[in-house]
Amino acid sequence: MSNFPIYIFAGAANLEKSIGKFFKYGLIILAVMIGLAIVIKIISSYIYLHTDQKIKKTGTWKVEILEINKKIVDDTLARAMLGYMIAGERGGLFGAITGAQYEEVNSITFKIYYNDGTEQTITCSPKHHLCQELLEKTDLC
C-alpha cells in the first residue's frame, strides 16, 4: 500500500518529461513550418512581381484562361447551427431554410503570350491584382 504513491509520482515525472518533449519538438516543428510558409510567400510574390514587370516591359498579345478552379460551398449547416444557438429550435429551422449553395473560385490558370514570342502559364488567386489585370486582357467574346 505504501508503494502506490511512489508510482503516481513516477508517472507524473514521466508525464512531465513527455509534455516537455512535446512542447520542445512541437515548437521546433511550428517554427520550421512558419519559416517555410514565409519562404513560400516570398517566392510566390517574386513570381507575381516578375510576371507583372514582364507584362509592362514587353506587353502581351494574347491571354487565355486555361482552367478555373472552383468549389461549391454550402452554408446551410452553419446557418442552422447559428440559428439554433441564437433562437433555439425555431432559429435552427429558419437558418436551415435560409441556407444556400454557391460557387467559390479558388484560382484561375492563365496562359500569357508575350510580344517577344515567349509564353508563360501562371495560376493566380482571384483576389490578386495580377489576376484582375489578366482578366481585363482576356478576350471573352
Predicted confidence at residue 140, as pLDDT, reads 66
- Per-residue pLDDT tens over the stretch 7-47: 455 555 677 777 777 788 888 899 999 999 999 999 988 88
Place of cell 441556407: 99
Element (H, E) at 133: helix 129-137
Predicted confidence at residue 56, as pLDDT, reads 87
Q: Per-residue pLDDT for 130 more than 60?
A: yes
Q: What is the DSSP letter of 100?
A: -
C-beta of residue 128 within 8 angstroms of C-beta of residue 48: yes
pLDDT band at 49 (very low <50, low <70, confident <90, very high): confident
**Spatial distance between the Cα atoms of 106 and 97, rounded to a whole number of angstroms:** 27
Predicted confidence at residue 18, as pLDDT, reads 75
User: Which residue(s) pair with 121 in the sheet?
Assistant: 111
69-78 mean pLDDT? 90
Percent with pLDDT over 70 in the chain: 89
